């Protein structure tokens, strides 16, 4: 996963344009990606698809410079972060005072270059280290942004894995951030691998893995699928999965959707990680969970946007994410898929009195001793769960690991003692 991140890192992604198109091309080499698009100007609910943005070069140099790299004080070629996303073209000479309003820095983290965009309000700007901005001599500067904004297309991709059922699990990640590794090349890399794993065997549920530009991309997907969103039974926005933090799960707007309960129990079983209540601020869960859709989408990250100093800065680089942490996220998501596949409401086929587990080899023969073997306890709890909801509820109620509950349920099903509903 880290190798894929390293390959994608130099591309200047944005909502639209060559960078995001190249990113989708690269993803398509790994997994069967279905590509979709909407033309600029298309109305998507309250929004409109913007013009496509092409950025070729951007720099600041002392007045009179021809733009030779050695003369550039700020140079897009060194980092895609240096130019404000969707900057309009400019080629002019300005005094330092005139230039200042177009310079974005982080005074509290003076060596870091921030990430800024202005998608829906036409303007231009540069991002740079505050330490550099402070040292700029009071002189005139040549300022060049070689960009284009013209009608084009908003593009996205998705991997579709059809299962036995139309009921669909959606994983979504945004692909519009330029050279930022945790937010969000990590999300892209993990979902590519997860899609591969999910597609590798027959599945009960159907799955969709979305690679969409932030906000407008998720709105585009919702718009395209607006007549068939009722098949979506579970959804998860993933991003920021490569940093060194423990997991943070953010609940859906509903707060008690199946995905919320599953993720809470999985993190509880890990003995680490944090569950937070829904808030309407964040990533694309804002769109999936907006009142008109109110889909059961949670969000999984490690560090949370705005809470770690590297967030949306040049410090979110290749060193900030590790294969180990990406793998941990992939493992957790694979567990989630197993839970979604196995979960269902428990019905007992032998509800009057406890079934005699002993004669089925599901219980130890010698009574009187204190039996704390977890599989036996899990069996009792699963049987007890009949008529009381799903297997996740059994894990919640019992405090037993979800893995033990699923294992016991499988054995009880084989023994003909329970059914697990859809």
Interface with its own copies (CB under 8 A): 44-47, 84-85, 104, 114-121, 123, 215, 218-219, 222, 226, 253, 279-281, 286-287, 290-294, 305-306, 311-312, 348, 350-356, 358-359, 365-370, 377, 380-381, 383-384, 386-388, 398
Give the CA dihedral 300, 304, 308, 311, nearest 10 degrees. Answer: 80
Asked if residue 213 lies in contact with residue 154, where contact means CB atoms within 8 angstroms, the answer is yes
CB of 286 to its own copies, least distance (A): 5
At closest approach, how far in Å is the CB of 146 from its own copies? 21
Compare residues 192 and 380 and give the one whose CB is closer to its own copies: 380
Please report, in angstroms and rounded to a whole number, the separation of the first and last CA atoms in the chain. Answer: 34
- Of the pair 202, 353, the CB lying nearest its own copies is at 353
Q: How far apart are CA 339 and CA 333, in angstroms?
A: 10
Shortest CB 417 distance to its own copies, Å: 9
> In the complex with its own copies, which residue's Cβ is closer, 165 or 356?
356
| Nearest residue (CB) to its own copies, 70 versus 121 | 121
Distance in angstroms (rounded) separating the CA atoms of residues 147 and 153: 16
DSSP 293-351: T---EEEEESS-TTSSTTTTBTTSSTTT--HHHHHHHHHHHHHHHHHHHH--BEEESS-
Nearer to its own copies, 194 or 295 (CB): 295
CB of 356 to its own copies, least distance (A): 5
Least distance CB 243 / its own copies (angstroms)? 17
Distance in angstroms (rounded) separating the CA atoms of residues 391 and 410: 11
| Nearest to its own copies of 235, 355 (CB atom) | 355
- In the complex, the smallest distance separating the C-beta of residue 267 from its own copies, rounded to whole angstroms, is 22
Q: Tokens 């550099």 appear where?
A: 132
Tell me how far, at minimum, the Cβ of 309 lies from its own copies, in Å: 11
| Contact by Cβ (8 Å): 421, 165 | no
- β-sheet bridge partners, residue 59: 75, 144
Q: Quick one: 226 or 228, whose CB is closer to its own copies? A: 226
In angstroms, the Cα distances linking 212 to 147, 154, 311, 416, 421 are 22, 9, 20, 44, 33
Q: How far is CA 43 from the centre of its chain?
A: 25
């Amino acid at each position: 996963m880290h190798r894929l991140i390293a390959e994608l890192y130099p591309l200047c992604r944005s909502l639209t344009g060559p960078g995001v198109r190249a990113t989708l091309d690269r993803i398509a080499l790994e997994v069967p990606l279905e590509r979709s698009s909407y033309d600029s100007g298309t109305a998507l609910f309250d929004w409109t698809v913007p013009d496509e943005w092409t950025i070729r070069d951007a720099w600041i140099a002392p007045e009179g410079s021809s733009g030779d790299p050695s003369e550039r004080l700020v140079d897009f070629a060194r980092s895609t972060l240096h130019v404000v996303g969707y900057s309009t073209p400019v080629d002019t000479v300005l005094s330092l005072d005139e230039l200042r309003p177009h310079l974005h820095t982080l005074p509290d983290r003076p060596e870091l270059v921030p990430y800024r965009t202005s998608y829906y309000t036409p303007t231009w700007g540069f991002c740079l280290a505050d330490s550099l901005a402070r040292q700029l001599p009071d002189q005139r500067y040549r300022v060049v942004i070689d960009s284009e904004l013209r009608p084009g297309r908003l593009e996205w991709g998705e991997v579709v894995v059809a299962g036995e059922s139309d009921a669909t699990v959606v994983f979504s990640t945004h692909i519009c951030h330029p050279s930022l590794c945790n937010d969000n090349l990590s999300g892209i890399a993990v979902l590519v691998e997860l899609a591969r794993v999910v597609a590798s065997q027959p599945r009960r549920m159907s799955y969709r893995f979305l690679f969409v530009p932030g906000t407008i991309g998720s709105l585009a997907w919702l718009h395209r699928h607006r007549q068939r969103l009722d098949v979506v039974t579970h959804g998860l926005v993933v991003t920021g999965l490569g940093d060194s933090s423990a997991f943070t799960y953010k609940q859906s707007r509903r707060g008690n959707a199946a995905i919320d309960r599953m993720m809470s129990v999985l993190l509880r079983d890990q003995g680490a990680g944090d569950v937070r209540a829904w808030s309407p601020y964040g990533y694309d869960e804002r769109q999936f969970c907006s009142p008109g859709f109110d889909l059961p989408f949670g969000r999984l990250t490690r560090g949370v946007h705005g809470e770690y100093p590297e967030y949306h800065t040049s410090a979110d680089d290749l060193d900030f994410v590790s294969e180990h942490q990406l793998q941990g996220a992939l493992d957790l998501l694979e567990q989630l898929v197993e839970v979604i596949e196995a979960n269902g409401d428990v019905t007992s086929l032998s509800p009057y009195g406890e079934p005699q587990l002993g004669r089925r080899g599901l219980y130890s023969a010698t009574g009187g001793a204190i039996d704390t073997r977890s599989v036996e306890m899990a069996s009792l709890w699963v049987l007890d769960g009949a008529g009381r909801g799903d297997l996740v509820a059994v894990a919640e109620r019992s405090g037993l690991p979800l893995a033990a509950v699923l294992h016991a349920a499988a054995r009880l099903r084989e023994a003909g003692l329970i059914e697990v509903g859809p």
